[in-house]
Structure 1
Amino acid sequence: MTQAYIGTSILALFISVVLIRSLSLKKMGIQAVEFGKKDKKDLIIPPFALFYFYLILAHTFNWPTIPAQLLFYSELLAWTGVVLCLSGLLFFIWTMISFKKSFRVGLVENTAQGLITSGAFAISRNPIYVSFAVLLIGQFCIYPSWIFLIYLAAGIATFHRQVIREEAFLKQQYGSDFQAYCEKVRRYI
């Protein structure tokens, strides 16, 4: 199934963009990954993410996986999923460009560049999570199974939890500037 190969490739590109951006910031002396340092509960996410990546690869390359997952299949829905995955990737890349040197994984005090409100952040206060959600929806359309539906629901709930935490953090860090930004730009889209 061509859509599966494309969807898997897009997921690999998402991961590559994060790794490349984190490494390029590290070369500039910026520690971009602070994941789990402020909230140890965040450390339960990586094993679930790794299992998700395995499931995507297993479905694409016919590796051993949990049997009887597929709920239904539609060629049109699978191609719609590819379009969603690609859209999510492009929005994610735009977000990385918009972040400039401010990209961080985790809650990190970072006032050097100020509050980012341009680029992708001019249409969404949380474009990175919007792009992740679009990717998950696209992956579900390509692989419409009960386990990916659970991952989709859990992922969106986890993103929302993180958004609430980050927005409280930004409100504390930037005060009235962040409040004014919230009044102009929606939380998601």
Structure 2
Amino acid sequence: MIYQIIAIIILAVFYGCYFIKMISQRRKGIQTDQIGKGKVGFVKFIEVTMKIITIIVPIAEIVSIILNTSVLPLWTRIVGICIAVTGVAVVITSVVTMRDSWRAGVSKTDKTDLVTSGIYSFSRNPAFLGFDLVYIGILLMFFNLILFIISVFGVVIFHLQIVNVEEDFLIDTFREKYINYKKKVCRYFGRR
């Protein structure tokens, strides 16, 4: 029961951060959710698939938590908690650091800043890294085959969003500034 309570708290803080940011930006007239809007072809497919998987994963996580599924040893639950809590901290830090440049999906019409300070000086994509860590952490806490497949698919889609949508958009928008940043900071974690 304690692992279920911890997992629910992790998910509440994780998704709460995201929705609080969306509401805060909406009050300022900023449309945070840009997923699939104004896109065509493969880019639209990736973004829409990402939006769908970000709905399916928490449903699978909640079902797994309620059923208290786990076929792994107890120590993996403890490791899962540590990974998920780290993911939540990374997401919150990235959301705060981005300030009003935060978007879900890319927007060619909104003017945003290229944020390279704070957590972004160690990861070009800390929000995606945070999502991945939360997904992996909850998976380790409540491992089952369905959650495994759905979580891995989510991580793969996030990666495709980064390499096929976000990076191209950032190069087109910020040109040399982003290219220089890309040379210094790794996609997920680390400096070069």
Normalising by structure 2, report the TM-score. 0.87
- How far has the Cα of 1:114 moved from its partner? 2.3
1:123 aligned partner, one-letter code: F
Which residue in 2 is equivalent to 1:58? 63
Contact 1:8 1:56 in 2 (8 A): no
- How far has the Cα of 1:57 moved from its partner? 2.1
Name the stretch that deviates more: 127-136 or 43-52: 43-52
Which residue in 2 is equivalent to 1:66? none
Which residue in 2 is equivalent to 1:173? 173
1:82 aligned partner, one-letter code: I
1:91 aligned partner, one-letter code: V
**Cα separation, partners in 2 of 1:174 and 1:46, compared to 1, 3 Å:** closer
Which residue in 1 is equivalent to 2:32? 32
Name the stretch that deviates more: 6-15 or 155-164: 6-15
- 1:83-137 CA distances to partner (integer Å, 9 max, x unpaired)? 1111100111100111011000111137744210011111000001100111111
Give the Cα separation in 1 of the matches to 2:179 and 2:48: 30
Q: What count of residue pairs does the alignment treat as equivalent? A: 183
Give the Cα separation in 1 of the matches to 2:107 and 2:137: 30
**Cα separation, partners in 2 of 1:78 and 1:105, compared to 1, 3 Å:** same
Name the stretch that deviates more: 48-57 or 169-178: 48-57
Normalising by structure 1, report the TM-score. 0.88
Which residue in 2 is equivalent to 1:73? 72
Give the Cα separation in 2 of the matches to 1:181 and 1:123: 11
Segments of 5+ residues of structure 2 without an aligned counterpart are none
Contact 2:35 2:51 in 1 (8 A): no
1:82 and 2:81 matched: yes
Name the stretch that deviates more: 45-54 or 148-157: 45-54
Contact 1:95 1:120 in 2 (8 A): yes
1:16 aligned partner, one-letter code: G
Name the stretch that deviates more: 6-15 or 100-109: 6-15
Percentage identity across paired residues of the two chains = 26
Name the stretch that deviates more: 118-127 or 149-158: 149-158
1:108 and 2:113 matched: no
Give the Cα separation in 2 of the matches to 1:143 and 1:125: 29
Give the Cα separation in 2 of the matches to 1:112 and 1:48: 27
Which residue in 1 is equivalent to 2:184? 184
Give the Cα separation in 1 of the matches to 2:124 and 2:87: 16
1:181 aligned partner, one-letter code: Y
Please give the residue correspondences for 1:103-182 in structure 2 after superposition, counting only pairs within 5 Å. 103-109=102-108, 112-164=111-163, 165-182=165-182
Segments of 5+ residues of structure 1 without an aligned counterpart are 64-68
Contact 1:102 1:110 in 2 (8 A): no
Give the Cα separation in 1 of the matches to 2:106 and 2:187: 17
- How far has the Cα of 1:187 moved from its partner? 0.7
